């Protein structure tokens, strides 16, 4: 369906190899498989850098790029074929599959890493490797470097310099190419449709996780194996908890519901937040808070273009949010003083947005190494997600505003002229939302037996 062309991975490796040059070698290791309970595990999510370079999905993988090596430049260590293990835990491509289907020049069983990998480091000046992800592998790398350095009778052959591999690959991942943007548009579309379904099928009396199920079923119906992050379905006061994902409360008639959910399609994330009233009609207080956030988001979208940076977008958003908080009766004082004191943080404690891509909070530095903020450029993808959250427990807030949480989040990609909003078609205005909430009956589609 959506699969990326294998040439795209080859092109990425070629780019990385060009950037590091023949004096260097780079190692990337897979993230570990996490235990869920006792002897069961969470579904495995491959590490994003390995996905970016190879599309290979298995745990325990080690990828080595060694430009100009006599046997090629792309080497892999993977789990070996094993009839018994495969019968229990699933098929493995093994080293042969890594060469035949993933284009490795040579591949070995991962248990051979101590025998084979040090030779790939020998004679290079610089090793690109990220310390701190896997202490056991870090110790091995250190041992290989020491062994190479002290090999008897041979000149020192170990890389002298160690550079964080993220510096180079995350810079590459920051600018999305056309094929990636196609996937991101699809991920955004599927995520937007799922939000629309949740609005349609919502009714008071169901559990938050029932809306989650509708959303995630839609993701899977459309080729997305997993959500890009744990779906947040917060009704009433739960909407004021930023990363709420218990999702087990019953939805009450007067609740405003905040849903922050996005699918991961071919490992590219959508990330959308929408809010809607369970009854289908905003109360006056919900309407006031919602309309304020909508206007703040619109202003941010209106100004988001190449040349601007995240700090400017954030500062402008803080200022507008402060103005709105005064108008809502949540803060008192002058905008300048309140911004200076960061009083807005009580109700808007997070950032206006983040990079989006293979990781939902995608990689790439927001600043240059001298600390200055980097400008947005065509191909960079960003979320725009202002919010106002007033916990039920906030006795300083007007009573009618307590227990209301609103965030509105869209996904944009910068173009040479401005940006493309990938999620604009997901219902967002008060009228569009009120027109749609509760228009379908969940029992008519999936009756409870």
In sequence order, what E strands does 230-355 have? 232-235, 256-261, 263-265, 268-269, 272-277
Q: How far apart are CA 333 and CA 331, in angstroms?
A: 7
User: How far is C-alpha 142 from the chain's CA centre?
Assistant: 31
Report in angstroms how near the CB of residue 353 gets to Mn ion at its nearest.
7
Q: Tokens standing for 99?
A: 């060469």
Which string of x and - marks every residue 270-309 that binds Mn ion (by CB under 5 A)?
-x--------------------------------------
Which 222-261 positions form the footprint of Mn ion (CB under 5 A)? 260
Q: Answer with the entry of Mn ion, ligand GLY, none that 229 interacts with (C-beta below 5 to 8 A by kind).
A: ligand GLY
From 39, 70, 115, 395, active-site residue = 39
- Residue 411 touches ligand GLY, criterion: CB under 6 A: no
Q: Is 302 a catalytic residue?
A: no
Which string of x and - marks every residue 202-231 that binds ligand GLY (by CB under 6 A)?
---------------------------x--
From 143, 149, 177, 243, active-site residue = 243
- The answer to whether the beta carbons of residues 362 and 228 sit under 8 Å apart is no
- The answer to whether the beta carbons of residues 219 and 263 sit under 8 Å apart is yes
Which 171-230 positions form the footprint of Mn ion (CB under 5 A)? none
Q: Answer with the entry of ligand GLY, Mn ion, none that 410 interacts with (C-beta below 5 to 8 A by kind).
A: none
Number of residues that bind ligand GLY (CB under 6 A): 7
What lies within 8 Å, CB to CB, of 160 at 6+ separation is 125, 126
Q: Is 255 a catalytic residue?
A: no
Q: How far apart are CA 447 and CA 449, in angstroms?
A: 6
Other C-beta atoms lying within 10 Å of the C-beta of residue 401: 18
* Rg of the chain on CA atoms, in Å: 25
Name beta bridge partners: 107: 76
Q: Is 350 a catalytic residue?
A: yes
Q: Is 290 a catalytic residue?
A: no
Block residue for tokens 């959308």: 272
Residue of this chain nearest to ligand GLY (CB atom):
260
Name beta bridge partners: 391: none
Contact residue for ligand GLY among 189, 264, 271, 288 (CB under 6 A) = 271
Cα separations in angstroms, 175 against 232, 269, 381: 28, 15, 8
Name beta bridge partners: 227: 263
From 288, 407, 410, 434, active-site residue = 407
From 92, 175, 361, 374, active-site residue = 361
Q: Is 311 a catalytic residue?
A: no
- Residue 385 touches ligand GLY, criterion: CB under 6 A: yes
Q: Which residues bind ligand GLY (CB under 6 A)?
A: 229, 260, 271, 354, 360, 385, 409
Q: Which residues bind Mn ion (CB under 5 A)?
A: 260, 271, 383, 409
* Active centre residues (catalytic): 39, 243, 260, 271, 350, 354, 361, 385, 389, 407, 409
């Amino acid at each position: 369906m959506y699969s990326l062309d294998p040439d795209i991975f080859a092109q990425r490796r070629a780019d990385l190899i060009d950037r590091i040059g023949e004096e260097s070698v780079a190692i990337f290791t897979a993230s570990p498989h996490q235990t869920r309970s006792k002897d069961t595990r969470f579904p495995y999510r491959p590490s994003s850098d390995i996905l970016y370079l190879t599309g290979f999905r298995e745990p325990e993988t080690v990828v080595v790029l060694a430009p100009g090596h006599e046997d090629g430049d792309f080497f892999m260590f993977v789990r070996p074929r094993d009839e018994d293990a495969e019968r229990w835990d699933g098929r493995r491509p093994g080293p042969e599959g890594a060469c035949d289907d993933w284009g490795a020049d040579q591949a070995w069983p991962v248990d051979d890493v101590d025998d084979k990998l040090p030779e790939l480091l020998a004679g290079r000046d610089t090793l690109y490797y990220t310390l701190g992800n896997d202490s056991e592998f870090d110790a091995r790398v250190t041992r290989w470097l020491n062994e190479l350095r002290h090999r008897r009778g041979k000149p020192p052959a170990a890389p002298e310099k160690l550079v964080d591999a993220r510096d180079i690959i995350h810079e590459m991942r920051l600018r999305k190419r056309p094929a990636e943007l196609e996937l991101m548009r699809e991920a955004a579309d599927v995520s937007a449709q799922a939000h629309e379904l949740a609005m349609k099928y919502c009714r008071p009396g169901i559990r938050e996780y029932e809306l989650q199920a509708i959303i995630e079923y839609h993701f899977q119906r459309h080729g997305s194996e997993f959500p890009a992050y744990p779906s947040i379905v917060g009704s009433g006061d739960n909407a004021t908890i930023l990363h709420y994902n218990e999702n087990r409360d019953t939805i009450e008639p007067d609740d405003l519901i905040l849903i922050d959910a996005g699918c991961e399609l071919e490992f590219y994330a959508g990330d959308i937040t929408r809010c809607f009233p369970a009854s289908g009609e905003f109360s006056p207080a919900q309407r006031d808070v919602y309309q304020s956030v909508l206007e703040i988001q619109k202003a941010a979208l209106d100004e988001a273009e190449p040349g601007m940076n995240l700090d400017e977008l954030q500062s402008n958003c803080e200022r507008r949010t402060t103005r709105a908080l005064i108008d809502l009766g949540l803060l008192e004082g002058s905008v300048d003083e309140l911004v200076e004191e960061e009083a807005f943080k009580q109700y808007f404690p997070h950032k206006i947005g983040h990079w989006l891509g293979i990781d939902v909070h995608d990689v790439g530095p927001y600043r240059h190494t001298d600390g200055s903020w980097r400008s947005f450029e065509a191909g960079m993808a960003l979320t725009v997600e202002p919010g106002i959250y007033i916990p039920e427990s906030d006795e300083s807030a007007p009573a009618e505003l307590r227990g209301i949480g609103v965030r509105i989040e869209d996904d944009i990609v910068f173009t040479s002229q401005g940006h493309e909003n990938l999620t604009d078609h997901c219902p967002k205005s008060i009228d569009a939302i009120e027109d749609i909430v509760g228009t379908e009956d969940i029992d008519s589609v999936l009756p409870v037996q």
